[in-house]
Amino acid sequence: MAWRGRELFASKGWSFQLSNRERDTLRRFVDRTAGQAPETISSLVPPSPDLTDLAGRLSDILERGTGVVLLRDFVSTEWDEHAAGRAFWFLSLQFGTPVSQSAEGYRLFHVRDAGFSTTDPRYRGPMSRKRLSFHTDRCDAIAFLCLQPALQGGETFIVSSVALRDELRQRDPKALEILNRPYPYLRHTVDIGNERPYCELPIFSEYEGYFAAHFLRVLIDRADVSEFAPTLTSSQRHALDTLEALAEDPDFHVSFSLKAGDLLLLNNWTTFHRRNEFVDTVAVGQKRHLLRIWLAMANSRPIAPCFLGHFGSTAAGVVRGGMRPTNSRSE
């Protein structure tokens, strides 16, 4: 898991393509479910042996290997958004359970520039064209399906959080010690189903022999200036700056562009990811557009008890994470 920079590209376990048999299975499913919205397709739909076997192999890589899986040309560029969404949703069900990404309970999220200002309470980084800093999301694994790349920019950056922890242990053990302690996270403006104004979680933790990293600096910085949460110490800020500077070192991260049809899966406990700022084309239907699913993985690791309030459960292999919906949409 502790790969550094281009070591990921040199590894055998990260980039794949569907076999002809797997692709035929997926196409038959998409044709059979024509007209259905992806989220209405139940997990009780009979699994496909071909895709279940594929998901099992890739799940093992996510949990015990590089923590990164790229499926090139996963969906046909001839499919429309709805057909691609059904294929994406169906494969995701083979990995685990999609969890809510909003207070409305939506589990299939559209990553594209919505034009919101940063002062709009609906604003979220994925719904802008701005550069995002390295972070994790509130789930075991995150999946992206690229429907349309940007005209310019929008590259994906990934770094092994295990490698960052190992390097800090040698380079700056004091900073690592601080990152192992709880940091305050302010509740996100769109997380209105969450009754707590903030939570406190460590960046790095270990539990029952399993490593876990959780990091979203934008919410830490908001907590720092909030009247509701503890103010950071100068040592805490320095440790965060040290971590981010290391993640930005090209010797540690990789970057690449997703093409239309590519599917990317990341283990949130062992990797950080970010996105570059991008420029969209003005043509209708050709703006940057990704689909995103937050997954509670069937083969997930146990996490420390401190994550209970934020994730709902800490046991291995259970449904956990996501935002608490304010209605019953995701049930």
The predicted structure's pLDDT at residue 197: 93
pLDDT exceeds 80 at position 43:
no
Mean predicted confidence (pLDDT) in 42-50: 76
7-311: CATH topology:
Double-stranded beta-helix (3.60.130)
As a whole number of angstroms, the distance between CA 228 and CA 226 comes to: 5
pLDDT exceeds 90 at position 124:
no
Which residues lie below 8 Å from residue 329, measured CB to CB, with a gap of 6+?
100, 104, 105, 106
pLDDT tens-digit series, residues 258-310: 999 999 999 999 999 999 999 999 887 889 999 999 999 999 999 999 999 99
Task: Please name the amino acid found at residue 326.
Answer: T
As a whole number of angstroms, the distance between CA 162 and CA 308 comes to: 22
How does residue 38 score in pLDDT terms, banded at 50, 70 and 90? very high
The predicted structure's pLDDT at residue 69: 98
Cα dist from 10 to 15, 143, 254, whole Å: 10, 22, 11
As a whole number of angstroms, the distance between CA 277 and CA 236 comes to: 27
Which residues lie below 8 Å from residue 147, measured CB to CB, with a gap of 6+?
81, 84, 260, 289, 290, 291
pLDDT exceeds 90 at position 122:
no
What's the pTM? 0.95
The predicted structure's pLDDT at residue 283: 85
Tokens of 162: 């295990």
- Other Cβ atoms within 10 Å of 243 Cβ, number: 27
pLDDT exceeds 70 at position 331:
no
Q: 297 pairs with which residues across the strands? A: 96
Tokens of 106: 């939506």
pLDDT exceeds 70 at position 241:
yes
As a whole number of angstroms, the distance between CA 5 and CA 1 comes to: 12
- Other Cβ atoms within 10 Å of 139 Cβ, number: 26
